[in-house]
Amino acid sequence: MARVVLSQADINRALTRISHEILEWNRGAGDLVILGVPTRGVFLAQRIAAIIQRIEPGAPASLVGALDATMYRDDLGRNVTRTPQPTQIPAGGVDGKTVVLVDDVLYSGRTIRAALDALSDIGRPRVVRLAVLVDRGHRELPIRADFVGKNLPTSTDERINVRLSEVDEVEEVSIESRTMPEQPTAQPTEQPTEPGNGSDEPDGGTR
Amino acid sequence: MSNPSYLIVGATLVSGERTDLLVQDARLTPVAPNTSNSNTAGAIRIDAEGLVALPGLVDLHTHLREPGFEQSETVLTGSRAAAAGGFTSVFAMANTMPVSDTAGVVEQVMALGDDAGFATVRPIGAVTVGLAGERLSEIGAMAHSRAQVRVFSDDGKCIHDSLLMRRALEYVKTFDGVVAQHAQDPRLTENAQMNEGALSSELGLKGWPAVAEESIIARDVLLAEHVGARLHVCHVSTAGSVEVIRWAKSRGIVVTAEATPHHLLLTEDLVRSYDARYKVNPPLRRDEDVEALRAGLADGTIDIIATDHAPHPTESKESEWDAASFGMVGLESALSVAQTALVDTGLLQWADIARVLSQKPAEIGRLADHSHAFEPGAPANFTLYDPSSSSTFDLDRLAGKSTNSPYLGLTLPGRVQYTFHHGYPTVLGGTVVDSTTVAASAAAWKAGRTHG
Amino acid sequence: MRHLLSTKTLSQGEALQILDVAEDMAAVSTREVKKLPALRGKTVVNLFFEDSTRTRISFEAAAKRLSADVINFSAKGSSVSKGESLKDTAQTLAAMGADGVVIRHHASGAPHVLAESNWIDAPIVNAGDGTHEHPTQALLDAFTIRRRLFGDRSRGRDLDGVSVVIVGDVMHSRVARSNLWLLQTLGAHVTFVAPATLVPFGAETDWPVGISYDFDQTIRDTRPDVVMMLRIQSERMNAAFFPNAREYSREWGLDDARLASLRPDTIVMHPGPMNRGLEISAGAADSAQSTVLEQVTNGVSIRMAVLYLLMSGDREVQP
């Protein structure tokens, strides 16, 4: 059974707030580059960039891009082959820029670790920040988000489903228990995280 | 000490008639069911309910590999494979090392066969010295040797020189022999790997055109007509070849022809796997060719089935296609393949199978003391075959030294349950009798023949 | 996809996946750090039973850009030419811990035999086998065509309706075969132009391809988007496939006059190495229409994509 925790309006409000926080922290849109982590992070990054360009008239036209971290993942050999997604860097590159990485859900932190590695092979930003729609906890690496839409304390048995109108039929964030509701105590709560050995799932909106 | 007597109970003859068979002193006598007399009383009873009694099968085209290639097969292991397939006589091809082109080699091969005792081994003599296609071998000496060679062949190589072929046909005629031609134009098949067609082009394997076989057969039947000699065509593989032979027979040319079991069942599509078990000379052809060969056997254009049993050690087949050897083993599977390709399809009756796998090949090879009818006093060479069963053709069905069978893993009908050679069993209850026992039985038979 | 043995058996989805991943790989090749960590700790063996420096270094560059270790096993002049079998070689590589094998062999089907055997349990990439196939060459050719036609909008696109003319020794060309199957899968129309002696037997009736003996006529009739010239080997002359180089060049070479008769945007391709002045004139080879060097560059991207897709995942995990 899935429980909706963020509606479409909630998501919009969260993104608007994150956009304002980014501008406030960066003191404007100067040297700003917003890079989404595929798949849904790219759409969130595009929305944040659009909001920034609306409220900050001096914002650069090419502000947003995509940063695929597939080939930097530490679990490539533990799963079936993953198809990489395109990386698109705005025309000005990332050297000396303020890069904000955007992802939908922050979980183990392994995707962001891979994204940081991927970013360093592309160039040397002045500073890198992280924005996420949902932080569900259970970090496995020393990584934290700078801008968070919503903190959602979860059990590792639960899934977070992020649905966005760009790719999904509905737009919402829901939380779902992986154990069957009829037998809630049938499985130990401390079972190893899976799939993907605790890493953030790169595809789909389910984590 | 003579071999024991056997009473085969309830066998079905190819006519459909049921009979018991008394096997005694290397001869057989049909007896009415439930006969009991002093002869039958001491005989070992064998229940042949549901088994078809076929005359001992005769293979006009076997490679026994000895002397010279004993890692692939020996006369003993090859004739054991023959027994497992229901054969009681095999004609051993001449491409041994040394080549069977002298009286000495052919007598040695025959003696090895006699000692092993699994089947009558009749050597085939090489037409040309060393199979080199240059000058005739001592055909007369081989014909007059103890081996009494009547079939001469350079099999594996085609006698492509037209004048040499003419001379061979004429000279062999002198000794009531026959030239068995491996029809393959060498220039058209240089480095050829599989049947030439869209598939060979797709797979990048050099094509083996049908015309390379058909043009040689056409030339040879005209030569045979011209000099009035017998010609036998080995392993006919194409529809066009069947046409040429049909035309030749309609002209009254004395030509006989054989088809192998594999060319009656398998097609070139198997080569898609690049599995070298399917690499054979002549190559597997198309569906249309398989159909034409079957029709040719049904209407008598093709006279016989011959196995072209060609054993090779594992390493000769475990390689890239180009490097692998040509050939497949076929003695053990021949009858099952014939059943599935010809009997179960309604093209041939069991009586026809007896004709194409026993009577005709014996005639072509001038096999002495061969009988295909179960008449009283006939030599007790026969096999009892269970056509009703069906099973996966596994390694345990192979009784020779090599395992390069294309049928492994396939489901095939039928199974040879008993084979009798000179009145003693070489296969009992589906199991090949051990070599020591068979050799002892053969020795006893030989002693009985000398003193009896 | 477990192995890459041919393009005949490649679905359109698989082909497009390779081409699209190659787009990402091409992007990496333009960066300052031209390296990805995807195959870190894995070993690629280049097993070459036939000389081909170009193909080998292309695979080597691809593997190294994915951070794999590369072992070059040149079987020519080694124990292999002294009778060591494919089986022994494969088992040796398996014992050394090869995670992927790139094989070039003079015998058609050798990669297939390796893949089907239980001698080695690693993905096999066919880098050209006899006169059978050369799948990565066809993939890089398709990639090159797609990029020339669609530029940055290439991703996800097939080659529907594209007209490709392949000229020369089609009979002995694994490049022509692999290109035919792949281009057909991607929706292109292919015409072979060759003397009848060099048309594969049965292609006219059984293959999805137009066959022509007349190069000029074909240029006039099809107004091709792509003309691909094949290398002609001098030994074909000795085997009487055609009388001599002069006659071949006159009838089937892409000379300056024929180049001028092409549409100005027709792409001229050659898998290399070229016989300038025989099947292609220097003018044609060096013209702006020629993609010869792009093909080399794209070859690395395609081979990166193939190695990545075959070797990065865990083959034990079922999807």
Number of CB pairs, chain A paired with chain C, less than 8 A apart: 57
Closest approach of C19 to chain A, Cα-based (Å): 11
What pLDDT is stored for residue B49 in this prediction? 95
Task: Output C127 or C84, whichever has higher pLDDT.
Answer: C127
User: Is the alpha carbon torsion for C18, C24, C25, C30 positive or negative?
Assistant: positive
What pLDDT is stored for residue A187 in this prediction? 43
Tell which of A76, A113, A201, A203 to mutate to test the C interface (max C CBs under 10 Å).
A76
pLDDT greater than 60 at residue A201:
no
Could you report the per-residue pLDDT of C168-212, keeping only the tens digit for each?
999 999 999 999 999 999 999 999 999 999 999 999 999 999 999
CA distance A49 to A35: 9
Q: Which of C8, C85, C174 sits opposite B315 (nearest CB)?
A: C85
Residues of A with Cβ-Cβ distance to C38 under 8 angstroms: 70-72, 76
**Subunit contact A121:C31, Cβ cutoff 8 A:** yes
For residue C316, name the pLDDT band (cuts at 50, 70, 90): low
CA distance C279 to C169: 10
pLDDT greater than 70 at residue C79:
no
**Subunit contact C312:A81, Cβ cutoff 8 A:** yes
Q: Cα angle at C149 between C267 and A93, to 5 degrees? A: 120
CA distance B229 to B255: 9
What pLDDT is stored for residue A202 in this prediction? 47
**Subunit contact A72:C24, Cβ cutoff 8 A:** no
Contact (Cβ atoms closer than 8 angstroms) between residue B127 and residue B451: no
What pLDDT is stored for residue A61 in this prediction? 87
Sequence length of chain C is 319
What pLDDT is stored for residue C165 in this prediction? 98
CA C286 to chain centre: 21
Q: 3-state class of C249 per DSSP?
A: helix
Q: 3-state class of B98 per DSSP?
A: coil
For residue A198, name the pLDDT band (cuts at 50, 70, 90): very low
What pLDDT is stored for residue A204 in this prediction? 47
pLDDT greater than 70 at residue B293:
yes
Beta strands B44-47; B52-55: pairing state = unpaired
What pLDDT is stored for residue A194 in this prediction? 41
Determine whether the annotation assigns residue C135 to a binding site.
no
Could you report the per-residue pLDDT of A26-71, keeping only the tens digit for each?
999 999 999 999 999 999 999 999 999 999 988 888 899 999 999 9
Determine whether the annotation assigns residue C54 to a binding site.
yes
Q: Domain-by-domain residue ranges, chain A?
A: 10-76+86-155
What pLDDT is stored for residue B168 in this prediction? 98
Q: 3-state class of C179 per DSSP?
A: helix
For residue A203, name the pLDDT band (cuts at 50, 70, 90): very low
Tokens of C42: 């894995």
Mean pLDDT on C242-266: 95
pLDDT greater than 80 at residue A200:
no
B233-244 exposure pattern, b = at least 16 Cβ within 10 A, e = fewer: bbbbbbbbbbbb
Residues of C with Cβ-Cβ distance to B273 under 8 angstroms: 112, 116
Residues 120-149 of A with CB under 8 A from C: 121-123
What pLDDT is stored for residue C76 in this prediction? 67
Q: What is the mean pLDDT of chain B?
A: 96
For residue B368, name the pLDDT band (cuts at 50, 70, 90): confident
The chain C residue lying nearest B277, using CA atoms, is C113
| Residues of B with a known catalytic role | 308
Contact (Cβ atoms closer than 8 angstroms) between residue B81 and residue B329: yes
3-state DSSP of B205-236: CCEECCHHHHHHHHHHHHHHHHHCCCEEECCC
- Look up residue B328 and give its DSSP letter: B
Could you report the per-residue pLDDT of B165-208, keeping only the tens digit for each?
999 999 999 999 999 999 999 999 999 999 999 999 999 999 99
For residue A205, name the pLDDT band (cuts at 50, 70, 90): low
Closest approach of C245 to chain B, Cα-based (Å): 24
> Taking the model in full, what pTM does it have?
0.92
Single-letter amino acid code for the residue at A18: I
pLDDT greater than 60 at residue C319:
no
Domain A10-76+86-155, CATH among 2.60.120.10, 3.40.50.2020, 3.30.70.330, 3.90.1720.10: 3.40.50.2020
Could you report the per-residue pLDDT of C129-139, keeping only the tens digit for each?
999 999 999 99
For residue B8, name the pLDDT band (cuts at 50, 70, 90): very high
Contact (Cβ atoms closer than 8 angstroms) between residue B234 and residue B265: no
pLDDT greater than 60 at residue B326:
yes
What pLDDT is stored for residue C75 in this prediction? 73
CA distance B240 to B289: 8
Could you report the per-residue pLDDT of B98-108, keeping only the tens digit for each?
999 999 999 99
Phi then psi for A5, rounded to 5 degrees? -110, -25
Closest of B122, B130, B131, B138 to residue B155, by C-alpha:
B131
Sequence length of chain A is 207
Could you report the per-residue pLDDT of B374-426, keeping only the tens digit for each?
999 999 999 999 999 999 999 999 999 999 999 999 999 999 999 999 999 99
Neighbours of chain C (3+ CB pairs under 8 A): A, B
* ipTM of predicted assembly, 2 dp: 0.95
Could you report the per-residue pLDDT of C142-157, keeping only the tens digit for each?
999 999 999 999 999 9
**Ordered domains of chain C (ranges, CATH):** 12-133+296-311 (3.40.50.1370), 135-295 (3.40.50.1370)
Does A77 lie at the interface with C, CB-CB under 8 angstroms?
yes
Task: Output A77 or B306, whichever has higher pLDDT.
Answer: B306
**Ordered domains of chain B (ranges, CATH):** 6-53+377-451 (2.30.40.10), 56-364 (3.20.20.140)
Determine whether the annotation assigns residue C231 to a binding site.
yes
C-alpha distance from residue B354 to each of B29, B225, B419, C230 (Å): 18, 29, 14, 57
What pLDDT is stored for residue B164 in this prediction? 98
